[in-house]
Amino acid sequence: MRPLLIFLHVGVCLVLIVVILLQAGRGANMGAMFGGASQTVFGAAGAGTFLTKMTAVVAILFMLTTLGLAYLGQNRTSSVVRDYAPPVERTIPVAPAPAPTPAPAPEANPTAGN
């Protein structure tokens, strides 16, 4: 279900971009006034009403797919943050220091005691 909704959402996004870019700007009709070609491809009323309605329909589809993806995304059981386990602190075992060797006992001076 989720991959299908993602695919549909990307398609709706692309269609929305194309429909918005096809719309004429505010000054587009000024060229037709001075002898330029008029936009009669979409009928006598021009492309304004058709593209405006299509933009509204595609924008509603975009919002619905966005809400659907948000709803499906919140019910996930795993999360990057929740599943993060802090790294295990590893200590390198240190060999115990060798016991100090006892100092040699002083030799008794045999001549000092006589």
Question: Whose structure tokens read 């929740």?
Answer: 82
Tens of pLDDT, residues 75-99:
666 666 666 677 778 787 777 777 7
Question: Given a cut of 80, is residue 18 above it in pLDDT?
Answer: yes
% of the chain with per-residue pLDDT over 90: 29
Region 17-36 average pLDDT:
71
Q: Is residue 7 part of a domain?
A: yes
Indicate the angle between helix axes 2-22 and 47-74, nearest 10 degrees. 150
User: By residue range, what is the domain housing residue 15?
Assistant: 2-26+46-74
Q: Is residue 86 part of a domain?
A: no
Predicted local confidence at residue 7, as pLDDT: 94
Q: Is residue 35 part of a domain?
A: no
Q: Is residue 90 part of a domain?
A: no
Query: Total structural domains in the chain?
Result: 1
| Alpha helix ranges (H) inside 1-114 | 2-22, 30-33, 47-74
Q: Is residue 36 part of a domain?
A: no
Q: Is residue 67 part of a domain?
A: yes
Predicted local confidence at residue 30, as pLDDT: 56
Predicted local confidence at residue 90, as pLDDT: 79
Average pLDDT in the chain: 77
Q: Is residue 79 part of a domain?
A: no
Residue 32 corresponds to which amino acid? A
Predicted local confidence at residue 74, as pLDDT: 81
